Chain A
């Protein structure tokens, strides 16, 4: 077991390079999970945007603030009772890839998001990071 210098991460195998300097919007209402995700993404070399706990706040970020440079988003589906799908629509419109994270089962996804990457709580960092890499790669393929 080893610790990184910042002391905010978990010992883990270094994920693949493709996430380096990748700007990832984290939308998660549970602060401890948000904290954990933040640490994980940082250790993976990402730049974390957020985290934000409300759809409205997240949309502001996407539309005004960091949108142009946003690479990806990690979306908790239920934000204290509010569904994240409106935000997902906004991201899809901007062709920003995103990965759903939820405590529900797969049936929670509306038809239009079927096929989108999704992982379920409790998540493992490995699975989550692999999904992000996959999503990013898909976008790269689409862009080229």
Chain B
């Protein structure tokens, strides 16, 4: 009990019909209750189980397959796998693989798990048995209960279990605390755990005195209600059981429980049973069994005849532990002494399911704690977490359904072992059962009772052999007090049994007289029976209320209505005397006697002389009764003989005749006896045969039982597998439907081919590429016309993929050129990763192709521009170098031009090669020369947008003008300014655009006087070239004394500029 200490572990056993039950349970179990759940089912080994996945759909708690060594954690669900036997050790799961050869053997995985859980978790173990056939789980539940855990079985209210076997078997043990519908289990568990915490302090802290007082009161109540004194019980054990009942009832206050106990007898009985739990284990009450072994067992073998069987009867055997314990003791004795006598242990119970469990002889480890390790090794084989009894012991035991109360008892039994059955029976039934045991036992046979059981008031039947351990021996001189039905009028004592020995009336359910017969009474009864004259008892009216035997000689049935009137029944000759005697007796209340009354006995006229006595019985003043006694006086005589003296000769003749008759009769008797003996022998033989047939039947029956269990197990596995299959089919349907939707919605054309390139299926988008209709499934792809440009290549690709040469990817174009596709041919792999066909996918990449083309064009154009620009730069360098006289002036001039070009490019590229405002070009080119003073430029004009070409050319021109102004013109002095004005002017030409042009006027003001330079510089050349050649325009430069003035004109015809709207 290490780490599982803190956690309540719920072991859930389920089998056939279990999935439904699990669903009901988990759906209604609140998460976060702090419990751990372990589900154990019967699964076919070697088959992958989807149970964890299935269970996971029922609950929000994490669900995992139970792995070996996993620590059990709160709020988790563990599901046992099919190939291992699951147990718990120190709060960890242990999954021991089942060897393949053991897989088809029967296993009791639920018993094995619950048994180990009981050991490991103690009172924190909870066993829940759900739907399932068979009886697996019953013993495990027993172990849990015994260690103080809670036990629950699925009940029939709510959703009833589909198979009742397992829960019913558990319930039949009487050890189930709660029978609930699965929907209530979860809630109850959480409540239970809650109350557990509240109660655990009950005994421990502070409340000790109160608890002790309560214990004493409970003991007193139990003594009153069930007659058993638990005052000597261990306090802790006692209080733990009390707590357990309180938890089940969810009463948290001990005084409230004591009050309930006083009020409800049923609760007292339940507590009493709880207190006695566990004594059905193997050799559980070790000292008692040792006594049995030492005192009784040897005598069973020693006392009987060598040929006799030793017969033991274990009534109320439940799941068989007691019967097997005794069988083991007997087997040990036989082996120790070499005794060869046959031994039979009849184990009976009314619970067929318990018998089934008992017959299989498989027990979880937890129930075998009391057993000596030597015995365990010798008589048990360990298999899959459970111990199975050896065949030799099982063969000794015959389990059958039998009620000790209802059915006739067994007979000729050497030992009756009936431990802890009587405590479940009330006093009246007990006093019927004990005589049945007495009857069943052979003379000197033994009775073995449970430690809490007594003979109550039937002590006359048995002598104690060991008082402490409840071993008794049959008292032989007591005739079993058989009782007849009390049909006599009140006050008339039954005069004893009818025949000798018991005749099946024992325990027959009729009323029993409480009075015990003494030996004297038995003798009296015998005497009355055998050696007293015939008599009847009549009332005052003469009605017979009692007949002795052999009254027929004196009385006969009267004709007419049946009557009990003795005078009507009296034979001829008797009636008169009887009437007179009865009258006298009634009057005088004294005995009246009449001698020599002749009574006609037979029709041939024979007469019996009788003495008649009528005597009033004492103690019946109000309704007096009279005893009428008939006493024969000599043999019957012929009529007339009575009055005449008999002659000697006649007597001799009669004697001779009698002797002859006697001889004849003896001979006949001898013959009859011989016949009888032969018949008896035959009967004996027949009986032997019957017994052996019976045994064979018994063993066949057991084999059948075993097969039935096997079939049941297989059936359960099948049912579980079936459920799983159903679940998988659902999943499959879902996936199929997903796939179908995907197929129908996807715009990707997909064709599935089998390994012969025959079409398996395709998506609707394929119709864009192939002339396919749904009916074409199953036709070879080569039969289908395609709209693609690569038909032959395609078939080749398919063949190569089918041949395993890897996937192919290719761009294909529709013949009409409308669409481009990326075709992929991939191998279709089956579950073994082998090629089982091909998948053709066509992704529409028309847009991609178009974009690629566009991109290529752009790259092309960019290359062109870059190269052109490099050529321009080279040209500027070449020209500047050629025109620059001083080497030092080259760099500033060249760089200035490159920068001017760069600025113009910057503007143009900022607009993504769109139009640029003239004003911006001007400002951009002017700015580096303005030395930070914007006011030196006065720009005015409408908003004119320049084409990139015009912007670049004008940019260079303006740069040259500005450079010149800085060097020689207005910008060379601080007062100088430049005025730039532009506008669109209409010329004199004809047509819409003819003569229309952009005119820009550059005027320098406030600069030094300028003159026309003597040589034309590169700047002028550049300006002219740009204006005239590049733009097809004009330029006019006036070197006036007031300052340089330039007029630049760009014609509209080339579309190099636009007047912006509103500009």
> For the complex, is B949 an interface residue (Cβ under 8 Å from A)?
yes
Distance in angstroms from A32 CB to nearest chain B CB is: 4
B876 x A103 contact (CB < 8 A): no
Residue of A3, A29, A120, A122 with most chain B CB atoms under a 10 A cut-off: A122
Residue of B nearest to A8 (CB): B882
Asked, given contacts A30-B871, A31-B1025, A31-B1030, whether A39 binds B865 with beta carbons under 8 Å apart, the answer is: no
Bound Cα distance from A43 to B181, whole angstroms: 113
Residue of A53, A103, A123 with most chain B CB atoms under a 10 A cut-off: A103
- Residues of chain A in range 92-144 having any CB-CB distance to chain B below 8 Å: 102-105, 120-123
> For the complex, is A87 an interface residue (Cβ under 8 Å from B)?
no
B875 x A35 contact (CB < 8 A): yes
B870 x A10 contact (CB < 8 A): no
Asked, given contacts A36-B874, A39-B878, A39-B879, whether A103 binds B867 with beta carbons under 8 Å apart, the answer is: yes
B871 partner, pick from A39, A104, A105, A121, beta carbons under 8 A: A121
Binary interface profile of B, 745-768, with partner A (CB < 8 Å = 1, else 0)? 000000000000000000000000
Residues of A within 8 A of B867 (CB): 102-104, 120-122
A123 x B871 contact (CB < 8 A): yes
A32 x B883 contact (CB < 8 A): no
Bound Cα distance from A33 to B870, whole angstroms: 10
> For the complex, is B909 an interface residue (Cβ under 8 Å from A)?
no
B882 x A10 contact (CB < 8 A): yes
Residue of B nearest to A10 (CB): B878
A32 x B864 contact (CB < 8 A): no
Distance in angstroms from A17 CB to nearest chain B CB is: 23
> For the complex, is B608 an interface residue (Cβ under 8 Å from A)?
no
Residues of A within 8 A of B870 (CB): 121-122
A103 x B872 contact (CB < 8 A): no
> For the complex, is B510 an interface residue (Cβ under 8 Å from A)?
no
Residue of B nearest to A120 (CB): B867
Residues of A within 8 A of B875 (CB): 30, 32-33, 35-36
Residues of B within 8 A of A51 (CB): 1029
Asked, given contacts A31-B953, A31-B1030, whether A122 binds B874 with beta carbons under 8 Å apart, the answer is: yes
> For the complex, is B1026 an interface residue (Cβ under 8 Å from A)?
yes
Residues of B within 8 A of A105 (CB): 860, 863
> For the complex, is B697 an interface residue (Cβ under 8 Å from A)?
no
Residues of B within 8 A of A122 (CB): 867, 870-871, 873-874
A33 x B871 contact (CB < 8 A): yes
Distance in angstroms from A71 CB to nearest chain B CB is: 23
> For the complex, is B57 an interface residue (Cβ under 8 Å from A)?
no
> For the complex, is B714 an interface residue (Cβ under 8 Å from A)?
no
> For the complex, is B405 an interface residue (Cβ under 8 Å from A)?
no
Bound Cα distance from A35 to B949, whole angstroms: 17
Residues of B within 8 A of A29 (CB): 1030
Bound Cα distance from A122 to B877, whole angstroms: 13
Residue of B nearest to A77 (CB): B864
Asked, given contacts A104-B863, A105-B860, whether A32 binds B879 with beta carbons under 8 Å apart, the answer is: yes
- Residues of chain A in range 31-71 having any CB-CB distance to chain B below 8 Å: 31-36, 39, 51, 53
Asked, given contacts A80-B949, A104-B863, whether A121 binds B882 with beta carbons under 8 Å apart, the answer is: no
Residues of A within 8 A of B1030 (CB): 29-31, 53
A104 x B864 contact (CB < 8 A): yes
Counting contact residues on chain A (CB < 8 A from B), the size range is 20 to 34
Bound Cα distance from A123 to B871, whole angstroms: 7
Distance in angstroms from B338 CB to nearest chain A CB is: 113
Residues of B within 8 A of A39 (CB): 878-879, 882
Residues of B within 8 A of A78 (CB): 864
For chains A and B in complex, what number of residue pairs have CB atoms within 8 angstroms?
74
Bound Cα distance from A9 to B953, whole angstroms: 22
Distance in angstroms from A78 CB to nearest chain B CB is: 7
Bound Cα distance from A32 to B904, whole angstroms: 15
Residue of B870, B873, B874 with most chain A CB atoms under a 10 A cut-off: B874
Chain B, interface SS category: helix
Binary interface profile of B, 1022-1036, with partner A (CB < 8 Å = 1, else 0)? 100110011000000
A104 partner, pick from B860, B872, B883, B1022, beta carbons under 8 A: B860
Bound Cα distance from A29 to B1054, whole angstroms: 13
Bound Cα distance from A10 to B1018, whole angstroms: 14
Residue of B873, B875, B881, B1029 with most chain A CB atoms under a 10 A cut-off: B875
Binary interface profile of B, 1002-1044, with partner A (CB < 8 Å = 1, else 0)? 0000000000000000000110011001100000000000000
Distance in angstroms from B38 CB to nearest chain A CB is: 76
Residues of A within 8 A of B739 (CB): none
> For the complex, is B866 an interface residue (Cβ under 8 Å from A)?
yes
Residues of A within 8 A of B940 (CB): none
Binary interface profile of B, 930-951, with partner A (CB < 8 Å = 1, else 0)? 0000000000000000000100
> For the complex, is B868 an interface residue (Cβ under 8 Å from A)?
yes
Residues of A within 8 A of B953 (CB): 31
Residues of A within 8 A of B874 (CB): 36, 122
Residues of A within 8 A of B864 (CB): 78, 102-104
B1026 x A31 contact (CB < 8 A): yes
Bound Cα distance from A126 to B949, whole angstroms: 29
Residues of B within 8 A of A120 (CB): 867
A30 x B863 contact (CB < 8 A): no
Distance in angstroms from A12 CB to nearest chain B CB is: 10
Residues of B within 8 A of A31 (CB): 953, 1025-1026, 1029-1030
Residues of A within 8 A of B1025 (CB): 31-32, 34-35
Residue of B864, B865, B871, B1021 with most chain A CB atoms under a 10 A cut-off: B871
Asked, given contacts A10-B878, A53-B1030, whether A32 binds B863 with beta carbons under 8 Å apart, the answer is: no
Residues of B within 8 A of A8 (CB): 882
B863 x A9 contact (CB < 8 A): no
Asked, given contacts A51-B1029, A53-B1029, A103-B863, whether A30 binds B868 with beta carbons under 8 Å apart, the answer is: yes
Residue of A nearest to B1030 (CB): A31
A7 x B882 contact (CB < 8 A): yes
Residues of A within 8 A of B1029 (CB): 31, 34, 51, 53
Distance in angstroms from A36 CB to nearest chain B CB is: 4
Bound Cα distance from A7 to B1018, whole angstroms: 10
B871 x A103 contact (CB < 8 A): yes
Residue of A3, A31, A34 with most chain B CB atoms under a 10 A cut-off: A31
A35 x B871 contact (CB < 8 A): no
Residues of A within 8 A of B949 (CB): 80
Residue of A nearest to B1032 (CB): A53
Bound Cα distance from A122 to B873, whole angstroms: 9
Bound Cα distance from A103 to B866, whole angstroms: 8
A36 x B879 contact (CB < 8 A): yes
Residues of A within 8 A of B1022 (CB): 32
Distance in angstroms from B11 CB to nearest chain A CB is: 81
Bound Cα distance from A102 to B864, whole angstroms: 8
Residue of B nearest to A40 (CB): B878
Residue of A10, A33, A121, A123 with most chain B CB atoms under a 10 A cut-off: A121
Residues of A within 8 A of B1026 (CB): 31
Distance in angstroms from A133 CB to nearest chain B CB is: 20
Asked, given contacts A53-B1029, A80-B949, whether A35 binds B872 with beta carbons under 8 Å apart, the answer is: no
Bound Cα distance from A33 to B1009, whole angstroms: 35
Residues of B within 8 A of A3 (CB): 882
Residue of A nearest to B1024 (CB): A31
Bound Cα distance from A80 to B949, whole angstroms: 9
- Residues of chain A in range 1-22 having any CB-CB distance to chain B below 8 Å: 3, 7-10
Bound Cα distance from A9 to B1018, whole angstroms: 12
8 closest Cβ contacts across the A-B interface? A36-B875, A103-B867, A122-B870, A121-B871, A103-B864, A31-B1030, A121-B867, A103-B868
Where the two chains meet, the residues of A that have a C-beta atom closer than 8 Å to any C-beta of B are 3, 7-10, 29-36, 39, 51, 53, 78, 80, 102-105, 120-123
8 A-B pairs with C-beta separation under 8 A: A8-B882, A9-B882, A35-B1021, A36-B871, A36-B879, A104-B860, A105-B860, A122-B871
Given A36-B878, A121-B871, 9 more pairs with CB closer than 8 A: A3-B882, A10-B881, A30-B872, A32-B872, A32-B1025, A35-B1025, A36-B875, A36-B879, A103-B866
Where the two chains meet, the residues of B that have a C-beta atom closer than 8 Å to any C-beta of A are 860, 863-868, 870-876, 878-879, 881-883, 949, 953, 1021-1022, 1025-1026, 1029-1030
